[in-house]
């Protein structure tokens, strides 16, 4: 899983590319209005029925971009195979999204996370 520090910091002006992620990386502020603004996610991954993937990254979270990219691609692969667990939210239009965080943060906030994606 990705590494993330709990402390937040000032948001940089530019979103850095996320290594290993083949989709579009966008700033947290650009996420859709229906998507929550939580304080535990490093990013939210949105997958479209056509295979498009967007990653809304909360740059305040200081997450490990390389780990985030790998996790996002593994989750996108799950979506492509139709293997969505309870951590995903499905919409009627076929789009699905999920938050990405760490087990340490999940435990701290009492959130039961599924086992790491392998």
- Pairing label, strands 53-57, 88-90: unpaired
- Pairing label, strands 24-27, 53-57: parallel
Beta bridge partners of 57: 27, 43
Provide CB contacts within 8 A for 115, sequence distance 6+. none
Burial code (b: 16+ CB inside 10 Å, e: under 16) for 99-117 equals bbbbeebbeeeeeeeeeeb
> Mind listing the pLDDT tens digit for each residue in 65-89?
778 888 899 999 999 999 998 889 9
> Mind listing the pLDDT tens digit for each residue in 1-53?
444 444 444 555 566 778 889 999 999 999 999 998 877 888 999 999 999 99
Domain layout of the chain by residue ranges: 24-108
Q: Which pTM was predicted?
A: 0.78
């Amino acid at each position: 899983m990705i590494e993330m520090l709990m402390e937040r910091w000032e948001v940089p002006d530019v979103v850095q590319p996320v290594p290993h992620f083949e989709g579009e990386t966008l700033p947290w502020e650009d996420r859709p209005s229906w998507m929550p603004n939580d304080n535990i996610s490093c990013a939210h991954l949105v997958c479209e029925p056509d295979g498009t993937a967007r990653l809304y990254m909360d740059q305040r979270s200081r997450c490990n971009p390389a780990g985030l990219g790998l996790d996002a691609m593994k989750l996108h692969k799950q979506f492509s195979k139709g293997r969505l667990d309870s951590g995903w939210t499905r919409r009627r239009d076929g789009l699905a999204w999920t938050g990405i965080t760490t087990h340490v943060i999940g435990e701290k906030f009492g959130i039961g996370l599924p086992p790491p994606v392998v």
